[in-house]
Chain A
Amino acid sequence: MYDIKALYEAESVENAVQLLTEHPEAVIIAGGSDVLIKMREGKLAGCELVSIYGLDELRGVTMEEDGTIRIRPLTSFSHITKNPIIQKYINVLGEAVDMVGGPQIRNIGTIGGNTCNGVTSADSASTLHAYDAIMEITGPYGVRTVPIHDFYISAGKVDLKHGELLTSILIKKESYENYYGHYIKYAMRNAMDIATTGCSANVKLSDDKKTIVSARIAYGVAAPVPIRAKSAEEFLNGKEATAENIAAFAKKALDDVNPRTSWRASKELRLQLIEELSKRAMTEAVRLAGGEI
């Protein structure tokens, strides 16, 4: 039995916005795998909830006419993994969210919840960063969009004002077309774990598969929020896809990140992992793109 003060079930997105506006203290509950746990711990005990779980309009993955992939936020991790659009165009995202927790968590956990709770370890977040995802937010004053890089403000805090909710995650055609990606989750066990560090890399190669036209890489738990290694990416762009260049790139990535020491892992270990994972993820991305290393 959860210590819920009151629970309001939204019947539509507009209704959810209205309920949130009417109840300024209320917290959104989507799948609940985050909110209910915090409530049980006592952190959210006694609070009001607006449940959007029943809003099927917020489920599913579709492709827009211009090729933009629209991921509705209540799509569960397992449904993202199984989705044919995701499999065809951004398979790495399906692979990444297939590493969240275990099968039951992947059935209840949603990609929207995973990003909106603002944690750096979220398995979906690094890949969404690496693909320049755009967050579509609906609130009392209509719809606005914000790049995912700006959506994350600080640890546990995202750019969602009270009364607003995430209604889509968009990935533009130019962000995914001809890109091939690979995600590595590093955790202390092989299931039911959160990432010590996660690394998502993707690459577009020249037609002869020899040159890196564009490389992108993002990390979870390399900083208080998921981040890209922009200077390392710039270093690699236009270079030949060789083991040496990727090794140099991986070293360079260390300048872009800022992991911390906590009881979960030391900064030194995380830096060791970031360099190694950058190398391995980028190498695999190049291989998936048809390159030879």
Chain B
Amino acid sequence: MAVGVSEKRVDAYEKVTGRAKYTDDLAEKNMLVAKVFRSTIANGVVKSIDTSEAEKIPGVVKIITCFDVPQYKFPTAGHPWSTDPAHQDVADRLLLTSRVRYYGDDVAAVIAEDEVAANRAIRAIKAEYEEYPFVLDQIEAMQDGAPQIHEEYKNNILNHTQIYNGDYDEAIKEEGLIKFEGWYDTATVQHCHIENHICYSYMEQGRIVVVSSTQIPHIIRRIVGQALGIPWGKVRIIKPYIGGGFGNKQDALYEPLCAYLTTQVGGRAVKLDMTREETFACNRVRHAIRVHLITYARPDGTFVARKCESFSNQGAYTSHGHSIAAKGISAFSQIYRSKASQADAYTIYTNRATAGAMRAYGIPQITFAMESHVEDIAKALKLDSIKLRQKNMMEVGFTDPFSKNVNYFDSLNQCIAKGREYIHWDEKLEKYKNQTGPIRRGIGMSIFWYNTAVWPISLETSSCRMVLNQDGSIQLQIGETEIGQGSDTAFAQMASETLGIKFEDVHVISTQDTDVTPFGTGSYASRQTYVAGFSIRQTAELLKEKILKHANELTRMPVYNLDIKDGNIVRTTDNKVLMTLGELSTEVLYSVTNCEHITAESTYQCKSNAYSFGCCFAEIEVDIPLCKIKVLDIVNVHDCGKLINPQLAAAQVHGGMSMAIGYALSEQMLYDPKTGKPLNNNLLDYKLSTIMDHPHLEAEFVENYEPTSAYGTKALGEPPAVPAAPAIRNALLNATGVSVNELPLNPHKLFVRFKEEGLI
């Protein structure tokens, strides 16, 4: 049994010895180096570019400007392609652009012999702009007269969707209802994977090869083809080890440009390595979303009618666009139930960095708003906030008519019970009543809603190939991408489980190559173990069927009395080992009569989805005069179904919690209001948590075997990043009585609120 065991990572040895090769480790020393010349205005048009001085710099090979590149507009989102034009992502990017829409937009590219020459050339290029006014705030961007960013989207509104249930206007007429209203705001933050995005490209036999740090190799192949206007088969993407992605690399970043640049230097290898500053300023960020919530509740806390308006800051280009805000209002409509609800989501272009996918895709934002709001309602009604949640949250048996998701289990209550016990909720609630003095403590919690993968909004598919070796081991290839989370290890466990071979006899090919790797859409949407599980199980069963057919020929035992256990062909009637799988494989491969290279390959189209629930409990200490929050203790509890690998699952939760604590307390991209220039696009000024910024992170689980899943598992990649921010915000409320509705809860914001409330 390999599933459910904390097997060690299949790539751990390579990683602790430094042998794991990431993109830059594979690059050759003498490759050409490309750098991007970026706009120094936030909105406007490039009138002209003078490259004459730059071209004189020794070592400069070629300079390509926005006036030189092909004009095929392409989308960048790492979504599966749709053959239905109505469902295709917005194609609004060019390789380089003369219509610049954010500070740092891609205007020209330098190819040089080395980095120093490339950087000198970048500094020597001069661009002349016609500058337009710019707008950074999404609500301002919606107003009449605001600077127009994409001409075809009036008032900069990329999209507006609604989810309405019941008759809201009728429901609020009920007598005795109490109205609660609040505005909640979240910040623009960045993924901060430690390996920046990097790619290099070269040409081979008339085709373009791009080696890239990406979560989505097969999707990148399509987008490079679209961007260059060439057949997709002319493009080959190779994904080596990846130093984290978190959604930023679920987008075509600079692969299309890099692919184009190699074609401009006769197919010589060109490397495009993002700096950390560029990663912050010119890759993707998480959408800042401002949320307006109204709840009409009965005095006993029953929610009768709920309303949500969310305004999502898209930044300069569409990328994943409205999908993020749209997912947010799904959560709003489902996690709490009421007679009627109205949710409107708007996604609005601004002149900030483009927002794309980031771990948990709209749910950290809406959860911050909802869970803060629920806490405020509980406080106003003098109710226990957990009881208030339990009274109104999604009931067991609830079915979402759209996704057909069913709430099979009492996961939320089970998770709450565990978290409550860990943090000593009742005892602390009592203890922290009526505190005075400058340093106070508090506890808070939050629940969350999530789902798994992208069906039915998009295609969900996974393809897998298994190749049996002479010794009975297999190679496993799959389109789902290891980017650090440990999916290769989980896949090996699944294959081992179904095939009946040892875990160490499953060799997962971590390097993905679109020429070789079966089609899969990549790593995102917490889909890896769920979606890959289907194709792994299906392919393993196919392979097993083939193996047992040969076993039948070799042993003369009927197939239904045969099985594979621990790498052996076993007769199930007496558990006798008849031969090893290695013996069978060798015999079959070299058979002069029945030779076969035993392989299996299949595609599984997934047409299901699964809820994934959980909660966070946090205990904090607030130093009021210093306007600072210290997290003392924190626990996340998840029901992600059956754990494939408990140790790796817990590790995944730790990482999400850490990211969420940063989201809660310190992370925020800042832009200069005068120029639109990013102010803190480096790891010193962007306050990502260090090991000294949070305490021990406790990860706990409730394991309800997910019935729609091949191995009982469901989403865990993203959900850990969701609930900590509102839990900490609610703990602050508990400690001080002060509500802060704007993330991050840093000293700047606490200072202002503590002053307003007379605490300092």
A contacts, CB < 8 Å to B: 1-3, 42, 45-46, 102, 186, 188-194, 196, 263-266, 268-269, 272-273, 276-277
Contacts and interface: CB of A to CB of B under 8 A. Distances in A.
Interface in B658-673: 666, 670, 672
Interface residues of B, number: 28
Given A189-B693, A196-B747, A269-B751, 18 more contacts: A1-B114, A3-B116, A45-B120, A186-B626, A188-B746, A189-B687, A189-B689, A189-B692, A190-B690, A191-B691, A191-B693, A192-B690, A194-B684, A263-B679, A263-B680, A272-B625, A272-B627, A273-B627
A188 B116 contact: no
Contact of A189 (B120, B627, B666): B666
Given A1-B114, A189-B666, A272-B627, A46 B120 contact: yes
B627 A269 contact: yes
B278 interface: no
B684 A192 contact: yes
Contact of B748 (A190, A193, A269, A276): A269
B690 A188 contact: no
A265 B748 contact: yes
- The 5 tightest CB contacts between A and B, nearest first, are A190-B692, A191-B690, A276-B625, A191-B692, A269-B751
A46 B683 CA distance: 24
B194 to A, nearest CB: 13
A272 B689 CA distance: 24
B119 interface: yes
Contacts of A273: 626-627
B760 interface: yes
A246 B123 CA distance: 53
A45 B119 contact: yes
B692 A188 contact: no
Nearest to B685: A264
B627 A193 contact: no
B115 interface: yes
Contact of B747 (A45, A102, A188): A188
Nearest to B689: A189
Interface string B101-116: 0000000000000111
A166 B318 CA distance: 54
Nearest to B277: A41
B115 to A, nearest CB: 5
Contacts of B685: 264
6 contacts: A3-B119, A189-B687, A189-B690, A189-B692, A263-B679, A269-B747
A3 B124 CA distance: 14
Describe A's contact surface by its main secondary structure: loop
A103 to B, nearest CB: 11
Given A188-B666, A263-B670, A268 B689 contact: no
B672 A263 contact: yes
A272 B116 contact: no
Nearest to B750: A269
A2 B751 CA distance: 41
A189 B115 CA distance: 33
A276 to B, nearest CB: 4
B299 to A, nearest CB: 40
Contacts, number: 62
Contacts of B689: 189
- The residue among B114, B672, B747 with the most chain A CB atoms within 10 A of its own CB is B747
A188 B751 CA distance: 13
Interface in B640-683: 666, 670, 672, 679-680, 683
A2 B116 CA distance: 7
Nearest to A270: B751
A269 B685 CA distance: 18
B345 to A, nearest CB: 30
Nearest to B120: A3
A189 B627 CA distance: 13
A102 B687 CA distance: 14
Contacts of B684: 192-194
B490 to A, nearest CB: 33
B41 to A, nearest CB: 18
A192 to B, nearest CB: 5
A276 B626 contact: yes
Nearest to A2: B116
Contacts of B746: 188
Contacts of A2: 116
Contacts of A272: 625, 627, 751, 760
Nearest to B114: A1
Contacts of B680: 263
A268 B120 contact: no
A1 B690 contact: no
Nearest to A277: B626
A46 B121 CA distance: 12
A186 B670 CA distance: 20
Contacts of B627: 269, 272-273
A1 B627 CA distance: 42
A42 B625 CA distance: 39
B116 A1 contact: yes
B690 A45 contact: no
Contacts of B123: 42, 45
A42 to B, nearest CB: 6
A193 B116 contact: no
A190 B625 CA distance: 17
A165 to B, nearest CB: 27
A78 to B, nearest CB: 17
Contact of A266 (B626, B691, B748): B748
Nearest to A269: B751
B528 to A, nearest CB: 31
Contacts of A193: 684, 687
B701 to A, nearest CB: 29
A121 to B, nearest CB: 11
A193 B683 CA distance: 9
Contacts of B672: 263
A97 B221 CA distance: 50
A120 to B, nearest CB: 16
- The residue among A2, A273, A277 with the most chain B CB atoms within 10 A of its own CB is A273
B32 to A, nearest CB: 14
Nearest to B673: A263
A1 B115 contact: yes
Nearest to B746: A188
A151 to B, nearest CB: 25
A265 B114 CA distance: 39
A193 B692 CA distance: 11
A7 B454 CA distance: 56
Contacts of B666: 188-189
Nearest to B760: A272
Interface string B748-760: 1001000000001
A128 B632 CA distance: 34
Contacts of B690: 102, 189-192
A194 B751 CA distance: 19
Contacts of A277: 626
A52 to B, nearest CB: 24
Contacts of B692: 189-191
- The residue among A45, A189, A190, A269 with the most chain B CB atoms within 10 A of its own CB is A189
A184 to B, nearest CB: 9
A1 B273 CA distance: 13
Contacts of A263: 670, 672, 679-680
Nearest to B438: A276
A178 B680 CA distance: 43
B634 to A, nearest CB: 16
B626 A268 contact: no
A191 B690 CA distance: 7
Contacts of B748: 265-266, 269
A291 to B, nearest CB: 21
Contacts of A268: 751
A1 B119 CA distance: 11
A7 to B, nearest CB: 13
Contacts of A189: 666, 687, 689-690, 692-693
Contacts of B115: 1
A273 B627 CA distance: 9
